[in-house]
Structure 1
């Protein structure tokens, strides 16, 4: 139990240090991507369906994210091209 708590604290601290190293533009783009994904998820009941406009907006914003964050999004630029 204590080991798990220490692990969670360590992961949070490392996450905060990574945030300090990121530019404000990258943080702003990440917030925009997350807000748009939440908007898509809120308007769908059982399963999210993306319109072509949703995909285009997310693909354009995801291109601006750092590579590590780009891998965990609903829509990647490759998804749009496929």
Structure 2
């Protein structure tokens, strides 16, 4: 009879530990999901930010090229006007 009581106590203890583990998993699952979602969102934000930075650099380069081409067109236009005036 004493052995049966000890076995029952061990089973109850095991069930209690199992319930505690299950409850802790239930409690942390939303946290882990939120943490994972936050991490994924952060990764996506960093990727978008890197693309945006690259596009800004490309735009800056294109604006510089546009200014250079505008000066070149103005120079050529001035030369053509000068050549036409000499005719």
- Give the TM-score taking structure 2 as reference length: 0.27
Looking at both structures, which has the greater relative contact order when contacts are Cα pairs under 8 Å and sequence separation is at least 6? 1
Considering fraction of residues, name the structure with more helix. Answer: 2
| Structure whose alpha-carbon radius of gyration is higher | 2
Q: Return the TM-score normalized by structure 1.
A: 0.28
